[in-house]
Chains A and B, each alone.
Chain A
Amino acid sequence: MSTPFEKIQDIIVEALYCDKEQVTRDANLMADLGAESIDFLDIVFRLEKTFGIKLPKGDIEQRARGDLADTDFEVQGVLQEKGLARLRSVMPEAAEKIKSGLRVKDIPTLFSVATFERMVMERLGDAPAAPATNTAKTAPATV
């Protein structure tokens, strides 16, 4: 029986037509595996169907924003120090890549296979969520 990670690997292989060996936890979806925006839609759809969960679009950005004032999170699309810190806590697997100058629209470039694994496991209730930054609820698993 496949583990959740193996199922996620299979989904990414099907969506991106890549080799399974390339789909390591560290592999970046865009830089390493060639994903484009339509692929994210496809992968999220497949993950939702496979695991019976909902992965709301923009969830990571919303969780990072939390209750921060808009200008504490970003100014003219560029993440501010508090926004960067929140994003590091929400995406711990990409923390070292979250640096000054990062734009909100570039958050998808941070996604690795580990990002999707963490999102899935959080919704399955098998992993602790990245530290809560506000009182907004994470979408519950529907299985």
Chain B
Amino acid sequence: MRFLFVSRVHEISGQKIKGQVDFSAGEPWRRTSDQGRLQISTSVVSEAIGQLVSWMALRDNGFSGRPVFLFATRIDLSGAVHAPGTVDLEALITDQSEDSFIFSGTAKVDGKTVVEIKDCGGYFMPLAELEDPAVTRQRFETLTTSGLPANPEGPAFDYSKLVDEVNEVVAGKSITASKVMRKDEPFYPDHFPRFPVTPIVVINEMIAESTRRMMTIPGEASCKITPLAVLDLKIKSFIRPGDTAVIQSKVTEVTGAEFETVTEILVNQKRILRGRYRYRKD
């Protein structure tokens, strides 16, 4: 199950990069909407923007350091992305030092913005600690020439498995849930081959799944929610294979069908993530 979400790099100019990601109908990270349409999670599309900007940073530092995203001021998730389809990606590094960076970016479908990332930043990690630099360099060459095909088709990822257990829940108000990250999770081989860590997209989907369970009223059908935004996200440490992630969310604001939560994730009783998440109850 490949975890690569850039199909082609079109242009790098100054601190700006443009590219695209192609999704096939058999994209493993797909979901099926109520109307039966195949959709790609906006978290995956956010990841695509991050991967795009990483390619520019990697090229600029001679494939010595890979950006690791640790905070984001705001990620707006404003549109559906259907599969099969192509998403146009664009990102701009707005600040960079030898060991840290900040960027913003967008994903568009047919000219309409579906995801916008504002002020996302983090540190560089030595590339060789994460993956084989020669393979990464070769992949970049391919992205800038012939491009990569869409991810190999496969069974759809079961997002419900991102929560193992609901430890405590007050419907509509708060939840504590947990997930044991198995060492054979399908996203670890590519993220990263030499140092597997749980991708932010998986973490955000884990939070969404626990939020869905929080908002489900006992005795009623399973609640459906649409993520709208992530705000003030900060990640202090990685979730590694074998870790048990404890997700704690509470609703802080409700406006009609929209609501906002504050979510923290703890590993070994240490808070490693905090963010505010906005959703719409469908």
Contacts and interface: CB of A to CB of B under 8 A. Distances in A.
B70 A41 contact: yes
B232 A45 contact: no
Interface string B90-112: 00000101111010000000000
Given A38-B70, A41-B121, A45-B119, A57 B236 contact: no
A38 B97 contact: no
B100 A42 contact: no
Nearest to B100: A41
Contacts of A37: 123
Contacts of A14: 232
B250 interface: no
Interface string A40-57: 011001001100000011
Interface residues of A, number: 14
Contacts of A15: 234
B100 A57 contact: yes
A126 B92 CA distance: 33
A38 B123 CA distance: 8
Chain B contact-residue range equals 10 to 19
Nearest to A16: B234
Nearest to B101: A41
B122 interface: yes
B274 interface: yes
Nearest to B98: A57
Contacts, number: 34
Given A14-B232, A36-B236, A57-B97, A42 B274 contact: no
B117 interface: no
B23 interface: no
A57 B236 CA distance: 19
A17 B232 CA distance: 11
Instruction: Describe A's contact surface by its main secondary structure.
Output: helix
Nearest to B70: A38
Contact of B122 (A17, A36, A38, A39): A38
Contact of B71 (A17, A38, A57): A38
Interface in B225-277: 232, 234-236, 274
A53 B121 CA distance: 18
Contacts of A39: 234, 236
Contacts of A41: 70-71, 100, 121-123
Contact of B121 (A17, A36, A45): A45
B274 A17 contact: yes
A36 B119 CA distance: 19
Nearest to A36: B236
A13 to B, nearest CB: 12
A71 B198 CA distance: 43
Interface string A7-29: 00000001101000000000000
B102 A45 contact: yes
Contacts of B95: 45, 48
Contacts of A42: 71, 121, 234
A17 B276 CA distance: 12
A123 to B, nearest CB: 16
Contacts of A45: 95, 102, 119, 121
Contacts of A49: 119
11 contacts: A17-B274, A38-B122, A38-B234, A41-B70, A41-B71, A41-B123, A45-B95, A45-B102, A57-B98, A57-B99, A57-B100
The 4 closest A-B pairs by CB, nearest first: A38-B70, A57-B97, A42-B71, A41-B100
